[in-house]
Amino acid sequence: MAHEIWVWAEHLNNELRESSLEMLGEARKLADKMGCTVSAFLIGDNASKFTDSVISYGADLVYVFENEGLKDFSIEKYLYLFSSKKKESKVYMIFIAATPDGSALALRLAARFQCGYVANTVTTAMQPDLSIKSTVPVYLGKGHCVLRFEASETLVISMKPGSVGITGENKTRKGEIEICDATSLPESKTIIKGYIKADPNTVSMDETEDVAAAGSGFRTQADIELLKPIADSIGAVVGGSKPMMDKGWIPRSRLIGQSSGRRISPRLCLCTGISGSNQFIEGMKDSRNIIVINKDKGAPLVKLADMALIGDLYEILPEIERELKSRQATTYQK
Amino acid sequence: MSEEKFDCIIVGGGLSGLTAAYLLAEKGLETLLIEKGNYSGAKNMTGGRLYGHSLEKIIPAFAQAAPVERRIVKERLSYQDSGKMTTVEYDSRGVAAPEGESYSVLRGKFDKWLADQAEEKGAMLVCGVRVDDLIVRDGKVCGVIAGDEEMEADVVILADGANSLLGQKLGFKHKISTNQVMVGVKELLELDKDVINQRFGIESGEGVAWMFSGCSDVYDGFLYTNSDSVSVGVTMMVENIKKTDNSVPQMLEDFKNNTDIAPLIEGSRLIEYSAHLIPEGGPEMIPKLYGDGVLITGDAAALCANLGFTIRGMDLSIESGRLAAEAVLAAKEKEEFSTNALSYYQTSLENNFVMSCVKGSEVCLAAVKSGDLKGDPLKVFNNLIKETLIG
Amino acid sequence: MQIIVCVKSELDATGPIKLIEPVDKINTKDLVQTINPADHAALTLVRNSIPHDMGMITVITVSPASAEKILRICLASGADNAVRVWDESLKEENLNAKSVASLLHKAIQLLKADLVVCGSEGLCETSGYIGPALAELLDAAQICRVDHMEVSDDKQSILFHRKHNYGNREVITCLKPAVITVDYDAAKPPAVSMKESIKASKVPIMHLDLESLGCKEDEWTHNANANVLQYMPPRPRTKKIKQASDKPLTPQQKMQQMLGGGAAKQSSNIIEGDSKKAAKEFVDFLIAERILNF
């Protein structure tokens, strides 16, 4: 029986989560080195619609557990499904992105299987003797700790979304789909009553999905308002660099950079008028999409950007606002 | 009214406060010590060297258990003048007398250890609380106020440091003026134990205390060897800072880059930068030391002696803490904590080396101010020997 | 309601750590002991939500006597009782998260609890294993990263808010017993109170050794899954690029990827000159990435 590397392919709002695509890419890389199979777990009430994507992003085999009772995430049900497969398989590693549900699941799986667990890894590499060497930050990131895990045991690996990036899709990849038995599910011990949506005015910087950051390119505090219409269209939270906080133009809770004590990894980090000190970049470089608006083409942030708009932010921002309005109008006309 | 009353509340968890707490708790008094830092030592700093004699009286052979850094065996005094330096060294390795020993210490560790000793004796220590005011009724201090909490006691010992705000609130102490206080800044530089041994010609456990003058009109320098680090710093009168365009950190940098210092600290790594006030006003600066239900000790009582080539503060603090505890115990026996009862504290201080040291510093201060001290190496040398023998 | 909060004494990682080359052990001698901030927040959140007359909070730690200070801080922060689990035969260096979870489990079985609470992460090295491990051992409901709790009017159930995707909150109830974890920023611990500290110093701390837990040697010892090889100074992490699958990595990028976990980004899309063009490209990008949906 070949060794497997498992990946939990999480989906949200009818889409595969990008963090899961990252996990598939990681798993694929390791599997290729080791001659293992990548087996993805798709769990939900309509899980089967993602099988093609999961395969094209790296899975050899997809375990599909589809059942109305799996509409919501439930630790007990997921544990049951994973455990049912564990009995029959030799699992080398289990990759789960550290989303809110992912972290909860990953830790519990490690407890259930009494196996190794590593989170927020910097690098993970297989050794010639098939053991795994993984480096993790310790002491608030002041040091890195190199850990070794035996080859004979399973290892659960939880990685922060955005930390490794998505490897390309290969639509020509072939894979198997196995529809698994999801009929007799245990009762969930938790009952979901509902959700409270995040308020862009109060949500914290490390939780928000999108961020619009202001820097020294803004001449006055009032000018930062230029970002607001764009931020509102996206639902982004407005934050800023350290000089902005030092001037009192943004509160400490909206600071981006190492001195905030946090690294953020939003889906979008729009950096306006920020050249990008080391300190700032360290605090946001894991962002999935970085867009930079700056006069200076040579600014450090430009090198990091997925897209850089070189020009005067005082011209570009209003222009973006106009473009957004006109697109919205066109949509309503449809 | 509060439900609890202590025999004694001590404000400040530095050396004088901890010493008083230790001794009072040892004798069974309900003692509460309140420190504003998160732990004793968090807010304290020294150059620095502790003369052991005063603590030796209280905890014999303390140096064996306490986290002292190195036992000072070499005293060096240097006078620098335009690239030339004269150094006098006193090597005491042949002598072994615990009462005369001094040790380089790091206050974070040391104070923490002393705090543990005081707690073991039964003193109640609360950290992370700042005492804002005192409870005063009919002119008598009856307790302390921290935030919106009050705690009563028969007597309060103010051990709250050079800038004692409580002492000022009582009217015992005046606001300190810039010519009464020095600032000491230092860098703690990590350096391999063996490298230190090699560079200073000492063995492990042995240390050097080194003072530098003449390097600047504004500051004097110092260097102490710790276990695996060196403390390098400068001291200066606060009022003199405005006489130069240089910032304080810049002056420290200049001292470190000094051709005589730089090779000694080559290859070291900065661990910590710290600064602290040092009362320097001489006997004039000593406030009213006691009142109804209250005593002032340590730096708060300006019991510091700048003797030109060495600054004595820690051992004087410890001794003053001891004398304060004795005064409280004597008052407790009579169940009377009035000004009269506590005057014993002032009397005992005056008959003690503490006061003679502080008075001695008056002479030195005058000499320093007039520039005399720098010009007479022999005078300095003589004083140095005398002082080392007393200490 | 019986609540148990598991707390850990940690070295204050905000203090100075010297790490300039790979070592077997980090030199932590200049660090002071402190309570794990997430555990303190956990205790605070529960106490703020469940007053004394509604629930008794017992804090528990697996630690030698030096950690009693931490328990006193908890008692001064609202805990009603404190328990310390330790045995002469235990050595701090040999205890891994699995064995600590086992020992806590035994103690919780003895003390009985409706709700078990702990911090979601440790300060120094912990990954947050204890909470879910306890849920597994107790066969309890598990809710991670709770930041709000409300007790029902009939005091029989609790409504929790749990951190969910993108700053949203999941509103959730659960069966008893339950294990919840709390992030360090979920609640601000109360300022140190003189009176509470003094009261706390008088509360007797219960001490449980292996015998009182009824532990047999093999029941609680576990081999650690991870072997620590060494500690090193932090390496810079380079971000991986969104790779087009047909473009192979250059040798430099491959090196960077091996060393830092990601190939450095190459500046891809630079638009200069015309603001109108820039605006259009910007909105197109957002739509392509499905950040905007028109």
- What is the arithmetic mean of pLDDT over B332-352? 89
Asked whether the predicted pLDDT for residue B109 surpasses 80, the reply is yes
| pTM, rounded to two decimals | 0.87
CA separation for the pair C118, C132 (Å, rounded): 10
> How many Cβ atoms from other residues are within 10 Å of residue C217's Cβ?
8
Q: Residue C240: pLDDT band by 50, 70, 90 thresholds?
A: low
C-alpha separations of B328 from B323, B337, B352 in Å: 9, 8, 17
pLDDT (average), residues B345-351 = 90
Contacts of C27 in chain A (CB under 8 A): none
Which residue do the tokens 């025999």 mark? B7
Residue in B51, B201, B17 with CA at minimum distance from that of residue B126: B17
Q: Are strands C178-182 and C141-143 parallel, antiparallel or unpaired?
A: parallel
Size of interface B-C (CB pairs under 8 A): 38
A210-333 is a CATH 3.40.50.2000 domain: no
Nearest to C163 among A119, A207, A293 (CB): A207
**Domains parsed from chain C with CATH numbers:** 2-14+23-220 (3.40.50.620), 232-294 (no CATH)
Mutate to test the interface with B, among C194, C195, C197, C202 (most CBs of B within 10 A): C194
CB C1 within 8 A of CB C56: yes
How far out from the chain centre does Cα C183 lie?
A: 6
Q: How far apart are CA C139 and CA C141, in angstroms?
A: 7
Q: Residues B3-26: what's their mean pLDDT?
A: 94
Across the interface, of C18, C194, C201, the residue whose CB is closest to B129 is C194
CB contact under 8 A, B126 and C192: yes
pLDDT at C242: 52
**For B239-247, what is the mean pLDDT?**
87
Amino acid B308: pLDDT: 65
pLDDT band at C237 (very low <50, low <70, confident <90, very high): low
Q: Residues C169-192: pLDDT tens digits?
A: 999 999 999 999 999 999 999 999
CB-closest option in C144, C166, C268 to A209: C166
Read off the amino acid at residue B157. I
B112/C32 CB distance under 8 A: yes
User: Quick one: B133 exposed, middle or buried, by C-beta within 10 A (0-12, 13-18, 19+)?
Assistant: middle
Does A126 lie at the interface with C, CB-CB under 8 angstroms?
no
- Find chain C residues with C-beta within 8 A of B272's C-beta: 16
A320 neighbourhood in chain C, CB within 8 Å: 278-279, 282-283
Instruction: Write out chain B residues lying below 8 Å of C30, CB-based.
Output: 108, 271
Average pLDDT score, chain C: 87
| Gap between the Cα atoms of A50 and A15, Å rounded | 8
Domain-wise residue ranges, chain A: 3-179, 210-333
Q: Give the pLDDT confidence score for residue B311 in this predicted structure.
A: 77
Task: Identify the pLDDT of residue C13.
Answer: 85
Tokens coding B25:
């708790």
CA distances from A126 to A23, A28, A143, A152, C235 (A): 16, 13, 22, 13, 19
pLDDT value of residue A326: 92
pLDDT for the residue numbered B56: 92
| Cβ within 8 Å, pair B151-C192 | no
- Which CATH number is correct for A3-179, 3.40.50.620, 3.40.1190.20, 1.10.3720.10, 3.10.20.30? 3.40.50.620
Tokens 């022999």 correspond to what residue? B378
pLDDT at C261: 47
Query: B181-278, which class in CATH?
Result: alpha beta
Residue C6: per-residue pLDDT:
98
Superfamily of domain B5-71+99-177+281-390, CATH level 4 = FAD/NAD(P)-binding domain (3.50.50.60)
Q: What percent of chain C has pLDDT over 70?
A: 89
| Tokens found for residue A177 | 């789909």
Interface membership of A210 toward C (CB under 8 Å): yes
Question: Are A323 and C237 within 8 A, CB to CB?
Answer: no
B13 touches chain C (CB under 8 A): no
* Fold agreement between B5-71+99-177+281-390 and B181-278: no
Nearest-CB residue to C16 (from B146, B149, B271): B271
How far, in Å, CA of A227 to CA of A254, rounded? 14
pLDDT at res. C245:
37
Nearest chain A CA: its distance from C91 CA (Å): 21
Element (H, E) at A149: strand A143-149
Alpha helices in chain B (DSSP H): 15-26, 53-58, 62-65, 107-120, 165-170, 193-200, 248-257, 314-334, 339-350, 353-370, 372-375, 377-390
pLDDT score, position B199: 95
C197 CB neighbours in chain B (<8 A) are 126, 129
A291 contacts chain C (CB < 8 A) = yes
| Predicted local confidence at residue C78, as pLDDT | 96
Q: Say which residue the tokens 């555990």 belong to.
A: C39
Whether C30 sits inside 8 A of B271 (CB atoms) is yes
Does C32 contact chain B (CB < 8 Å)? yes
- A145 → closest Cβ in C125, C171, C276: C125
Least confident of A313-317, B181-185, C230-234, C265-269: C265-269
- Residue A236, pLDDT score: 93
Q: Which residue of C has its CA nearest to A332?
A: C294
Q: Do domains A3-179 and A210-333 have the same CATH topology?
A: yes
**Cβ within 8 Å, pair B149-C197:** no
Tell me which residues of chain A have a pLDDT lower than 70. 1-2, 333-334
Q: What is the structure's pLDDT at B1?
A: 32
Residue in B39, B146, B190 closest to C194 by CB? B146
Judging contact as 3 or more Cβ pairs under 8 Å, the answer for A and C is yes
A contact residues 142-161, partner C, Cβ 8 Å cutoff: 142-150, 153, 155
Q: Between chains, do A163 and C129 touch, taking CB under 8 Å as contact?
A: no
Question: Which two three-digit tokens encode residue C152?
Answer: 């029902």
What ipTM describes this predicted complex? 0.89
As given in the structure block, the two tokens for residue C133 are 């491990």
What pLDDT shows up at residue C251?
64
Do A and B touch, 3+ Cβ pairs within 8 Å? The answer is no
**Closest alpha carbon to C4 in C128, C121, C177, C163:** C177
Say if A264 is an interface residue toward chain C (CB within 8 Å): no
Residue among B11, B30, B126, B151 with most chain C CBs within 10 A, to mutate: B126
Hey, where are the domains in chain B? Answer: 5-71+99-177+281-390, 181-278
**Which residues of chain C are within 8 Å of residue A307 when distances are taken between CB atoms?**
268-271, 281-282, 285
CB contact under 8 A, A167 and C245: yes
Q: How confident is the model at residue B163 (pLDDT cuts 50, 70, 90)?
A: confident
A137 in contact with chain C, both atoms CB, cutoff 8 A: yes
Q: Which two tokens stand for residue B126?
A: 């609360």
pLDDT of residue A43: 97
Would you say residue B366 has pLDDT above 80? no
Residues 142-201 of B with CB under 8 A from C: 146-147, 149, 151, 190
pLDDT over threshold 70, residue B371:
no
Of C18, C30, C192, which has the smallest distance from its Cβ to B129's Cβ?
C192
- E strands present in B92-228: 102-104, 124-127, 133-137, 140-146, 149-158, 181-190, 206-213, 219-225
Is the pLDDT assigned to residue B386 strictly greater than 80?
Answer: no
Retrieve residue B46's tokens. Answer: 């020294």
Question: What is the model's pLDDT at position C28?
Answer: 80
Any CB–CB contact under 8 A between C233 and chain B? no
- B-contacting chains (≥3 CB pairs under 8 Å): C
